[in-house]
Structure 1
């Protein structure tokens, strides 16, 4: 059964939800804008807005964002049909010449990152008046997308000669902006090209935006920062930056077990009680997006008080320690991450990154929308956006 986002806490469905906070989202956007200085910002909403809901996040930022960046043409079309008028950038570009008429008709911008795409532009059949803004992507060391620096002059000549070219920009992507190597080597390859380039330049993802102001240029591309998590946890936490979590992942306790010393918990008996204890079974598992490899000891919060996971995560349930929480029991709310337990903590314990946790949120988890500061003053098209 299809379930729309609901506005009441834990309605008559399985007691689990992701609480999405518009006020936190807008706070993070404005904070990121301060960090970006004078650069304009592509709000990155790929991967279903990092699991937060594409249309929901677009609605929350519709009156703030300079532009939106994503991957799928279909999603870009949804934004246009919902009334979003800002620039929309296709980060992986187009996958066939057949995409170009729709890109032109919807007034989208696109990345060009291969020589084959240059050929596809030349073969496209578009109305004479059609203009498509383009960003040429340069491979400066990520070795994923982009043409080599030596190929840039010829590629720009071809783009400028294309009769349907709108404004042309130049961009690259950093591989280690969140790590020890930083951006120096890649920036050294890109900076000479950018210095001679007349047009908008985009380099900084969230980590570079946070750590390397020299990369801000004309457009920055914040992603995880907008959702309230640190892009460089080895250097600064979300709290250090001043971010607020947009997603609060919660479920309720649906059973309480009383264990004696030696009793085991869950599949494989991966946790053994060393003393008498109370264990709560929570309506959340890896099929909901909680990381299966989170070990015993991973923090949770029960009715706002911190506790821990015990035993193996199963498909639909986890177990949490209630021994020091006598007030907790059947129906208690367990926060998996959000206000009391940071996304970064859970990711670290599970051996993954905060990006993966939010992106893995399952479609079967309903959303509860809270906070609407500023939305009453947003354009009517923003408020009318579909959930």
Structure 2
């Protein structure tokens, strides 16, 4: 089999979830949407179910996969329902739903439910994607209460710039949120990963850790609490061929790298079809048999090349780590002009191996 693989450390996942609990002193929904950011939603949910107070996914099909696997903890649909007929599945599988649009309230009013549903009522405090306008928030809350079909209502919003600790936008959104729910009783949910890590003054009854669960930083700058996270995924592969090239010889598509000296080139079974970022430039760090190294040339679909010149003991079969404990995913993302969320979600085709402690 192709040697490319993603090692998933489930003990690190639990460590990061417990850190979220410690930082928040609140209840936490583990965000495992998008197949747990490429880490495998079912296996991650199973590993966390002893600790987690619930899970959050994007859509109902992700929730049904977890229920089919035997996950019994609460599951929140972060985008809510997409059509009224989904409420039957919400009812049958005891799911929680975000309500962010008037038509979803209409659907609840008309639905024939066996049991009341738990609603997370979203206010648009300034991100301007989804959510009710602050001026209509209280009226929507009263309307949901009047249906007799709602068990609990959790007040929620989402911060657009919490990953910028010096930006006043988070404080502005918090003030808008508090004004919108003034006089209303119920639990709150405000904090995503960056708010948990960098905004201790922002607290709520429920928090929603996402990227931090997987041990990656949501920030572009150093941040104190990030150093306590443990990377969950190690993406690695092996050298499958070695070339000895003289100076002035090009490597790979487009001759983006030309040897400046006699160069040992290692060809590695890893490419953008595996999820490694195509735009990672020459010089992007890797770890070759435990020692710092670099990529040279353009990343192609199935292979990329690394510089083995200063690694005399490395060669055919050597292990190359692309991110993990030795090479941080956030550093690779920044070098490639993207974010760790995307590089995790893009991981595909590689085999996943799950371990409790790497």
TM-score calculated relative to the size of structure 2: 0.97
Please say if 1:338 is aligned against 2:349. Answer: no
2:170 paired residue among 159, 175, 183: 183
Judge conservation of contact 1:230–1:237 (CA < 8 Å) in 2.
no
Pair 164,189 (structure 1): closer, same or farther in 2 beyond 3 Å: same
User: Once the 2 structures are TM-superposed, how far is the Cα of residue 23 of structure 1 from its aligned partner?
Assistant: 1.3
Please say if 1:61 is aligned against 2:48. Answer: yes
Distance 1:26 1:63 in 2: 9
User: Once the 2 structures are TM-superposed, how far is the Cα of residue 195 of structure 1 from its aligned partner?
Assistant: 4.6
User: Once the 2 structures are TM-superposed, how far is the Cα of residue 372 of structure 1 from its aligned partner?
Assistant: 6.3
Match of 1:123 in 2: 110
Deviations 1:147-191 (A, max 9, x none): 100011110111001121111111000000001425111111012
Give the match's secondary structure for 2:70: coil
1:227 paired residue among 211, 214, 234: 214
1:154 paired residue among 136, 139, 161: 139
Please say if 1:348 is aligned against 2:331. Answer: no
2:351 paired residue among 351, 366, 369: 366
Judge conservation of contact 2:35–2:41 (CA < 8 Å) in 1.
yes
Calculate the aligned-residue CA RMSD, in Å: 1.4
Aligned 1:1-387 pairs, distance under 5 A = 13-37=1-25, 39-127=26-114, 130-179=115-164, 180-181=166-167, 182-236=169-223, 240-362=226-348, 364-371=349-356
Judge conservation of contact 2:100–2:131 (CA < 8 Å) in 1.
yes
Distance 2:210 2:187 in 1: 20
Judge conservation of contact 2:10–2:47 (CA < 8 Å) in 1.
yes
RCO higher in 1 or 2 (8 Å CA, sep ≥ 6)? 1
Distance 1:237 1:271 in 2: 37
Distance 1:355 1:213 in 2: 23
Distance 2:65 2:326 in 1: 35
User: Once the 2 structures are TM-superposed, how far is the Cα of residue 259 of structure 1 from its aligned partner?
Assistant: 1.1
TM-score calculated relative to the size of structure 1: 0.89
User: Once the 2 structures are TM-superposed, how far is the Cα of residue 237 of structure 1 from its aligned partner?
Assistant: 7.0
Deviations 1:11-65 (A, max 9, x none): xx1111000001111111112211112x100100001000000101101101000
Judge conservation of contact 1:132–1:167 (CA < 8 Å) in 2.
yes
Pair 368,280 (structure 1): closer, same or farther in 2 beyond 3 Å: same
The unaligned stretches of length 5 or more in structure 2 are none
